[in-house]
Amino acid sequence: MIDKLEMDYVEIYAPDLEREQAFFAKAFGWDFVEYGSDYRDIQGAGIGGGIARAPQAPPLIVLKADDLDAALAQVKAAGAEIAREIFDFPGGRRFEFRAPGGTMMAVWTKSEG
């Protein structure tokens, strides 16, 4: 059994990333770090977050784990459907899953080194 996982990040999906970013900056005073043309890291929102240029979808809650393989095994054993197996991204690795009730979530860990 792994340690309890905590919510660490919220990923928001928007087809018009620039318009969404401008709204959040004006409405909430958030700042952003640009990671290419299709992703913005949200700064100053109280929890980590990002906006991805993608079709509109509910926000994705991302949990953080020290041992991603153990977290994957635990989530599978609890009955989740793995929507996306472990993959690498700049700075880390993650997988995405659908809980038995339908909620989409992800778990990530920092890259070693």
Q: Is 46 left (phi over 0), alpha (psi -120 to 50) or beta?
A: left
pLDDT tens string 22-67: 999 999 999 999 999 999 999 999 999 999 999 999 999 999 999 9
Question: How many Å apart are CA 22 and CA 26, to the nearest integer?
Answer: 6
pLDDT (0 to 100) of residue 1: 64
The percent of residues above 70 in pLDDT, for the chain, comes to 97
The verdict on residue 84 lying in a domain is yes
pLDDT (0 to 100) of residue 108: 96
pLDDT (0 to 100) of residue 48: 94
The verdict on residue 57 lying in a domain is yes
Global pTM? 0.86
pLDDT (0 to 100) of residue 90: 86
End-to-end CA distance of the chain: give it in Å, rounded. 25
DSSP-derived secondary structure for 16-76: SHHHHHHHHHHHH--EEEE-STTEEEEESSSSEEEEEESS-EEEEEEEE-S-HHHHHHHHH
- Taking alpha carbons only, the member of 111, 107, 113 closest to residue 6 is 107
Question: Looking at the 3D structure of the chain, how many domains does it have?
Answer: 1
The verdict on residue 1 lying in a domain is no
Domain that holds residue 49: 6-110
pLDDT (0 to 100) of residue 4: 84
What is the CATH classification number for the domain harbouring 24? 3.10.180.10
